[in-house]
Amino acid sequence: MTPTREDLERARARVEGVVRRTPVETCRTLDRMAGASLFFKCEHLQRGGAFKLRGATNAVASLTQDEAARGVATHSSGNHAAALAIAAARRGIEATIVMPVDAPAIKRAAVEGYGARIVSCGPTLADREGTLADVVAKSGAAVVHPYDDARIVAGQATAAIELFEQVPELDVVIAPIGGGGLLSGTVLAAKFFSPGTRVIGAEPALADDAAESLRLGERQPQRPPRTVADGLRTAIGAIPFEVLRTHDVEVRTVSEEDIVRAMRTTWERAKLPIEASSAVAVAVAIDGGFANARVGVVLSGGNVDLTRLPWQ
Amino acid sequence: MTPTREDLERARARVEGVVRRTPVETCRTLDRMAGASLFFKCEHLQRGGAFKLRGATNAVASLTQDEAARGVATHSSGNHAAALAIAAARRGIEATIVMPVDAPAIKRAAVEGYGARIVSCGPTLADREGTLADVVAKSGAAVVHPYDDARIVAGQATAAIELFEQVPELDVVIAPIGGGGLLSGTVLAAKFFSPGTRVIGAEPALADDAAESLRLGERQPQRPPRTVADGLRTAIGAIPFEVLRTHDVEVRTVSEEDIVRAMRTTWERAKLPIEASSAVAVAVAIDGGFANARVGVVLSGGNVDLTRLPWQ
């Protein structure tokens, strides 16, 4: 189930020309704070405002003609929904997104703007799964899970593959972990394309299921959704967990205070308007004791409700 | 007094390696809204968070050794202060910034962080000028005016010179106008390096002194400081006015509502956290009727108080 080097190379070829080769930015203030050279991979400037388009594009491109003709579906209130909508539109197939009724208006509007069909459901996971099952029963659509899917993991790996091309000789790469698609993809990208680079996961202390899962050797349940980093509230998926466990990946946790401070500094000084989930990786970079190292930081996304910033 | 082609070329050589060659970004959502292809020159990613470092660097580099030894001084509560501080530190000379006591804390902290000396003064223009005169009398420092200075105009021109290299065949370039350093520099850059490109100024309707000055053929006084675009409240300077007048430049005005909407859309969709003064140029681009044109937009800066966003 773990993607191979060939899977990553195929993903790389598929995303080319569809996803944006996002820029890498630097910031002297953040370098001073970290005592290191930080290189920010700007996936908040990706189409759809997050790295998610990489995995969605690879998954949609993997479908046979017959499968594609029946469309794709998922349940998501977040960035994966927008990404799948864009990837499906690009292939000219239908995307159906099951979204809880309380999803932010800006995310609904974005998904509709990309041409997807939204089916509303209740707020619980059971509501979402039931509604998605109905959609699939009627349409025969292929379900594309946001992270527990080898095609998604291989697609997310392309962010780090690009970063290794853009910034040679990185000592460390830090990526946030929620469901684990991005982090496990980053681990595989380093393994195959930059074996000298150590990969570290960044997780809110209030959503530390991945760190605990690795410590205990067994997947832990989702924590109560209290962290400001709303993209990282999800529990780690089975495929990502297997990748992290077998590669002995370290996941570090940071406090809410450090997350908000890192987010604000990244906005104010680096002028990169990232979401809190990305700031978790910045916070680990600042506090990590990476003296004089060359540290890549994957800024996963920038979809923020501008009327509800966490320092207000 | 108007800078020549040679002045611009010298400025270009002087800023090289000191100021950042900022990237150019695009955004499909804003393209759709404008019905045109917009190319955003990201001076909010410049060191100091604004284009001002270009002019300040050129002015500081223009000083003789003797002049430089006595340092530089200015009065400014804004981006010019930070820029002069950085440029002076780069040459290893002293910068003294006269700042009103009510200047935002974030701007004071930034200026101090760059190593400049701050001298506080009262809130009126007379306070500032009197305090600056005292500083100069004691130190012999060279005064670097934020816009009414040919060295500054030539320096600000380098943003557009880069843009013309990065994006060929622009039909139009839009730049905001406050004191006029950036816009007059952009006009001269187009004249000498991209004569097929038309330059348009963007001004808040609540601070329309430049548009009125051009209409009446005579410089008009500053308007009451009511516009959200606080960087554009200044009245146009004599040198910039002469450049705009002799080149028959059009300045368009936009409403506060359009400025705030353009700013918010640029943050939300393009993920470019610009200040309101830059959004004035975006608003002109959106409403300008530039159907199918290739339009450069100079995003002048990104120094924003994140606790006081204008849509809140």
Residue B226 clears pLDDT 80, i.e. is over it: yes
CA B282/CA B223 separation, integer angstroms = 22
Average pLDDT over residues B87-113: 90
Of A264, A271, A306, Cβ closest to residue B302: A271
pLDDT of B61 over the 90 cut? yes
Which residue positions in chain A have pLDDT lower than 50? Answer: none
Task: Look at residue B157 in the predicted model and tell me its pLDDT.
Answer: 98
Nearest by Cα to A231 from A122, A132, A104, A131: A104
pLDDT tier at B286, thresholds 50, 70, 90: very high
Domain assignment present for B19: yes
- Which of B85, B111, B143 finishes a domain? B143
Shortest CA gap B244–chain A (Å): 31
Q: Which of B23, B113, B306 sits opposite A264 (nearest CB)?
A: B306
Spatial separation of the C-alpha atoms in residues A176 and A183, rounded to whole Å: 7
Backbone angles phi, psi at B296, to 5 degrees: -85, 140
> Rounded to a whole number, what is the distance in Å from the CA of A299 to chain B's nearest CA?
12
Q: How does residue B251 score in pLDDT terms, banded at 50, 70 and 90?
A: very high
Based on the fold, state whether residues B130 and B246 are members of the same structural domain: no
Q: What is the dihedral of CA A118, A121, A123, A127, to 10 degrees?
A: -130
**For residue B309, is it within any domain?**
no
Please name the amino acid found at residue A141: A
Flag if A45 and B271 touch (Cβ within 8 Å). Answer: yes
Provide, as residue numbers in chain B, all residues whose Cβ is less than 8 Å from the Cβ of A267.
273, 306
In this structure, the answer to whether residues A91 and A228 fall within a common structural domain is: no
List the end-to-end C-alpha distance of chain B, in Å, as a whole number.
44
Cβ of B268 within 8 Å of Cβ of A306? The answer is yes
Q: Are residues A120 and A172 in the same domain?
A: no
* Same domain flag for A237 and A289: yes
H runs (alpha helix) in B140-179: 150-166
- Same-domain check for residues A153 and A209: yes
Q: Tell me whether residue A196 is in a domain.
A: yes
**Count of A–B CB contacts within 8 Å?**
40
Q: How far is B3 from chain A (nearest CA, A)?
A: 32
Q: Specify the range with the lowest mean pLDDT, choosing from B105-119, B152-166, B242-256.
A: B105-119
- The answer on A189 and A78 residing in a single domain is no
Q: Work out the number of other CB atoms within 10 angstroms of the CB of residue B196.
A: 8
Q: Are residues B218 and B257 in the same domain?
A: yes
B250 and B230 share one domain: yes
pLDDT in the model for residue A81: 93
Residue B114 lies inside a defined structural domain of this protein? yes
CB contact under 8 A, B306 and A268: yes
Q: Is A292 on the interface with B (CB under 8 A)?
A: no
> How does strand B172-176 pair with strand B95-100?
unpaired
Chain B within 8 Å of A268 (Cβ-Cβ)?
Answer: yes
Let me know if residue A220 belongs to a domain. yes
A307 CB neighbours in chain B (<8 A) are 311-312
Residue A305 lies in a domain: no
For B138-168, the pLDDT digits (tens) are: 999 999 999 999 999 999 999 999 999 999 9
Examine residue B312 and state whether it is found in any structural domain, yes or no: no
**A48 to chain B, closest Cα gap in Å:** 9
The secondary structure element, H or E, covering residue A198 is strand A198-204
- What's the pTM value of the predicted model, to 2 decimals? 0.93
What number of helices (H) and strands (E) belong to chain B? 13, 10
Boundary-marking domain end, from A119, A143, A167: A143
Longest dimension (CA), chain B: 57
Tell me, yes or no, whether B190 and B288 share the same domain.
Answer: yes
| Best CA proximity match to B228, nearest among B265, B273, B260 | B260
A63: domain CATH number is: 3.40.50.1100
pLDDT, average across residues B89-100: 95
pLDDT for residue B77 is more than 80: no
pLDDT at A132: 96
Say if residues B61 and B152 touch (Cβ distance below 8 Å). Answer: no
Question: Which of B47, B267, B271 best tests the A interface by mutation, with the highest count of A CBs <10 A?
Answer: B271
pLDDT digit string, tens, across residues A89-132? 999 999 999 998 888 787 888 899 999 999 999 988 889 999 99
Whether A109 and A183 map to the same domain: the answer is no
E strands, chain B, in order = 24-25, 37-42, 72-75, 95-100, 117-121, 142-143, 172-176, 198-204, 250-254, 294-299
B311/A309 touch (CB, cutoff 8 Å), yes or no: no
3-state secondary structure of A175: strand
| Number of domains comprising chain B | 2
Shared-domain flag, residues A234 and A200: yes
Range of B121's domain?
53-143
């579906």: which residue's tokens? A73
pLDDT of residue B107: 80
Strands of the sheet with A198-204, listed across from one edge:
A24-25, A37-42, A294-299, A172-176, A198-204, A250-254
d(CA A134, CA B31): 38
Its ipTM equals 0.90
Domain boundary among B143, B178, B212: B143
Is the residue at B57 inside a domain?
A: yes
* Same domain, yes or no: B32 and B155: yes
pLDDT at residue B302 tops 80: yes
Tokens found for residue B262 = 């353009």
Is B261 in the A-facing interface, judged by CB distances under 8 Å?
Answer: no
Quick one: pLDDT at residue A162? 98
Question: Which positions in chain A touch B45 (Cβ < 8 Å)?
Answer: 25, 271
